Amino acid sequence: MNGGMLLWVHAPDPAKDAEIVDILTRNGGRDVHIHVVTRIWGVAAVPFNDAQPDPLLR
């Protein structure tokens, strides 16, 4: 109704989270909050990475 914008800020240093929230709030940001996302990289993150669909193939 009032319009809005979704803004995602990546902060590699968690110590800066409070400062980022403060900057956004001081500049008119509303409903500003922090989410922590844990990512897993590599082969283990790929679904079925160790599946062998055909037992005759090796």
Encoded amino acid at 51, one letter: A
Q: Find the DSSP H helices in the chain.
A: 17-26
3 against 33, higher pLDDT:
33
Q: What is the pTM of this model?
A: 0.57
Half-sphere exposure of 27 toward its Cβ, with a 13 Å CA cutoff? 6
Q: Band the pLDDT of 1: cuts 50, 70, 90.
A: low
Q: Per-residue pLDDT for 2 more than 80?
A: no
**pLDDT exceeds cutoff 80 at 58:** no
- How does pLDDT run across 7-57, given as a tens digit for each residue? 888 888 889 999 999 999 999 988 898 988 888 888 888 888 888 888 787
